[in-house]
């Protein structure tokens, strides 16, 4: 595995790659969720590039940029064992210039739900992902369904800018007890972790209700909220695949999303129906 930190080095190596390239952008502190993206990329492509970059432009002032977990050594081993060919780990001054040309997330998709709670977050995401796409020129790029809104925005960016690549969604990986894996789970105390389980439990409850024929969105939301009384729920949203609110669940065209604070930690999770 080659570790590359500079732009020229990456561009030179990319130029020499023949065949398909799978790309997995991450912010590091890798877990089995990231690994699942890497494994899919490994299975579907001739070459695999992973990036680790804690992107400052997608953090709002007061968010956890400074304390975001950084585990370079462990991450490097995980990538090596997973058969990654190139690990790109630039620093901030390598990725950003002064007074840059800026991309903006779509006015609707970028500013509802996560974008409403974290205004400007998705602008930072599209800015960095476009840079990473231009550098790695992937055939396929892999993103988790856990970050459903991010995934939809990046699919739209690829469409809108006619990017010659495929965005591949990957299912959410969970702990045995249902908690969605996240680099931010390390912030949780034992007690908070127990409380956080109510998020995935409420999604499971929603899934059972729907399987039993309950399609009314307000009823499902009410049942979910009841299960999450011990945590600070920011939103429960039931939307179609383009993130338009629904009154009735549409089978194969619905995403149920939850964002909540458990102590100081902000968690998101979702279920695709
Ligand atoms: P991050 O390092 O948090 O920016 O995540 C990098 C990529 O991993 C994103 O595409 C995430 O959606 C994806 N990801 C994060 N957590 C999970 C998970 N539990 N299961 C699957 N993919 C995930």
Domains and CATH numbers, the chain: 2-170 (3.40.50.620), 183-272 (3.30.1300.10)
DSSP 179: P
Q: Are strands 232-239 and 255-262 parallel, antiparallel or unpaired?
A: antiparallel
Q: Whose CA is nearest to atom 18 of ligand 1?
A: 33
Residue 28 has a pLDDT of: 98
Residue 237 has a pLDDT of: 98
CB of 124 sitting under 6 A from ligand 1: no
Helix (H, G, I), strand (E, B) or coil at 217: helix
CB of 55 sitting under 6 A from ligand 1: no
d(CA 165, CA 227): 41
pTM of the shown model: 0.98
d(CA 70, CA 19): 32
* Active-site hit among 31, 34, 47, 97: 34
Task: Please write the tens of the pLDDT for every residue from 84-122.
Answer: 999 999 999 999 999 999 999 999 999 999 999 999 999
Nearest Cα to Cα of residue 25 among 158, 159, 182, 138: 138
Instruction: Kindly indicate the confidence band of residue 148, based on its pLDDT and cuts at 50, 70 and 90.
Output: very high
d(CA 239, CA 246): 5
Q: Which helix (H) or strand (E) holds 128?
A: helix 121-136
Task: Please write the tens of the pLDDT for every residue from 178-227.
Answer: 999 999 999 999 999 999 999 999 999 999 999 999 999 999 999 999 99
Q: How far is the CA of 200 from the centre of ligand 1 (A)?
A: 16
Helix (H, G, I), strand (E, B) or coil at 52: strand
Pocket test for ligand 1, best of 32, 147, 158 (most atoms within 8 A of CB): 147
């Amino acid at each position: 595995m080659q570790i590359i930190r500079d732009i020229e080095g990456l561009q030179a190596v990319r130029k020499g790659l023949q065949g398909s390239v799978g790309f997995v952008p991450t912010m590091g502190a890798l877990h089995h969720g990231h690994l699942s993206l890497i494994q899919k990329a490994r299975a579907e492509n001739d070459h695999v590039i992973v990036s680790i970059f804690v992107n400052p432009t997608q953090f709002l002032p007061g968010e956890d940029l400074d304390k975001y977990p950084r585990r370079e050594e462990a991450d490097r081993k995980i990538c090596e064992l997973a058969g990654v060919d190139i690990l790109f780990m630039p620093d901030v001054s390598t990725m950003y210039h002064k007074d840059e040309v800026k991309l903006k997330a779509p006015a609707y998709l970028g500013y509802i739900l996560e974008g409403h709670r974290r205004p400007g977050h998705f602008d930072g995401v599209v800015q960095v992902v476009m840079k990473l796409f231009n550098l790695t020129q992937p055939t396929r790029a892999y993103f988790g369904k856990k970050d459903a809104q991010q995934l939809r925005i990046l699919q739209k960016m690829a469409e809108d800018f006619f990017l010659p690549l495929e965005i591949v969604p990957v299912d959410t990986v969970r702990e045995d007890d249902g908690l969605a894996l996240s680099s931010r789970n390390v912030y949780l105390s034992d007690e908070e972790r127990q409380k956080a389980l109510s998020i995935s439990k409420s999604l499971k409850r929603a899934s059972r209700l729907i399987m039993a024929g309950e399609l009314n969105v307000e009823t499902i939301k009410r049942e979910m909220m009841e299960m999450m009384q011990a945590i600070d729920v920011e939103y429960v949203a039931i939307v179609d695949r383009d993130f338009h609110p629904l009154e009735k669940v549409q089978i194969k065209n619905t995403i149920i999303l939850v964002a909540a604070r458990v102590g100081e930690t902000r968690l998101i999770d979702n279920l695709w129906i």
